[in-house]
Structure 1
Amino acid sequence: MAFLEARGIVKRFANHLALDKVDIDVPENSIYGLLGPNGAGKTTLIRIINRITGPDEGTLTLDGHPFKATDIKKIGYLPEERGLYKKMKVGEQAIYLARLKGMSRSDALKKLKYWFEKFEIQPWWDKKVEELSKGMAQKVQFIVTILHEPSLLIFDEPFSGFDPINATLLKEEILDLKKKGATIIFSTHNMSSVEEICDHISLINNGKTMIEGPTHKVRLDYRENLINLDFSGDQNKVENILKEKFHLQSIRPVNNHISAQVKMNEEQSLNQVLSSVIDHCSIHSCQELLPSMNDVFIQVVNQQKQPTQKS
């Protein structure tokens, strides 16, 4: 079941069409990757979901009903451009932002104490925001985003500016939020993060939805029939067979064995590769090489550019 649905979303700015009939379906209790190059329309779509701006055309449905103004309390939004007030004290500002989300002061204090201790930033409670490092300020903003336990969380480039240790900490917290029932939209350029944590993805480019679906299915849809074969034995014989019957991409020694990458035709199978060489070597492993999300991203964006370049 889709927790958030967008249908036919159109947004224009002067002569620029930012979103062109965009559809997305964000499954309940999933981590949904919203991908696309700079200027693709991701931030515009996020702002429409947050009711910061409205669509020119199209509809939004949240949890089975048309999106209404009061639903904004169900959303936690961490924007890419951070927005803390630099002259306010950290604790004072965190309480203020929690109260804006409808929390009582006592509930906010209790939960903030827990999160500040967990993120090891409690000594900064009475410091001004301008005294914080970028990473610490981002931790504070992450905390106030999730504090009211919204059912829909939207993170726009949440790992920007974080060192690897803190990025891992944040990643673990996002996965834990999903375990606790949250639905999460995750906008990023970091494709490795997408593969690690996203169940579903949508790739937007030039204001259009280019791909949408479960992450693993998308990778399967863009596979190129490449396999990796690790073996030991008669390298020359195996190499000649692979060149003759298939498309040998590469072959090289790796540690105590030989690794070959082979591209099959559409009508060929992994079993055919194995049966053709098994009498001439000992096979250690054989697996299909699926494209990374980065490969898919580049392929789709480049495919969309081609017609423009030819015209």
Structure 2
Amino acid sequence: MAIRDEFAGVLVEYKRKRRKALRLFPGVMKTLEKLKSSGVKLVAYTESMEYHTVERLKVLGLDGVIDHLYSRDDHASPAHIEKVRLRTEPDENYALANTRHTKLEISHRKPATEILERIIAECGVDKSQCLYVGDSPMKDIAMANACGITSVLITHPNSKLNDERYELLRSVTHWTDAEVSDEKIVTPTPTHTISTFAELLALFDFGLARSVSPEVLTVWEKTIEVQMHFNDIQLRIRSLYASVMVGIVGATGAVIATVEDPSFEIGNLSFHFVFIAIFAILLSNALFYMMDRHWYHRFLQGAVMNAVKIEKEFGSVLAGIRLSHEISYKSKFSFAKFS
């Protein structure tokens, strides 16, 4: 029996509990969304390998929030085994759908100023426009300082280097002994130090206070009116559909109850009246469905998407224009999962 088969149950349970416990620190998502809505490009740079990094971003809901991810490639597979044969989950779990992903050499380790310089160059921005946020003085801050960009050290409440749990982590880490030793003695000075991610908004001007022309609000209001218009049309269509169905069923019942032989002939063929009713129901269903789902609903979707786009772009500076976003969020429905 292969090792992976022998420990399959343990690995599955470990992964399940790990995903259940994985969560962002308070304020991180809201801060990232505000930065993104203001036009800030968000780049994540980690020395973790591809599979684990992709998994974390997907579980945490960061696929699409982060614009570009740089991570190490996965371990190589034996030459005679294709990587896809080792997979135990759906293909979509192994790749990001909306975040661009650049894979670095597996031998890569932070701090690597050449990689950070490459990232800055590929983003096409000046170093004065860059801000590097990290939680490791030795891995992150030293590298940012060496590249000459603003560095921010975030000290999470549970990230004390002298914590006995962290000592346990050090004992099983993939880091080299030199890296573990350097972490204790390399203490570069960051440009800024924060304890929560949201503090970034108070420290720096990301353009969140930009002015917005009155036309933006007017366009949003008109878009909401269009949504209401198509909502009303769809409601009328569905009400008419219900009336037609009741009419067909009622007429069928009346004919069957009052006519002794509710059938008719076409040529040499004889058809019961119920056949007409079934045909009418099927035809009505098809016509109403096409009109509702593939005609007016698409118009409604277009209006909603346009409104959501406006709300994402200007929601941070125009309070209260999150109607379409909130309706879309609250109207989501999924069946409960039982395990």
TM-score normalised to the size of structure 1?
0.25
TM-score normalised to the size of structure 2?
0.23
Name the structure with the higher helix share.
Answer: 2
**Structure with bigger gyration radius:** 2
Name the structure with the higher strand share.
Answer: 1
Q: Which has the higher contact order (CA 8 A, sep 6+)?
A: 1
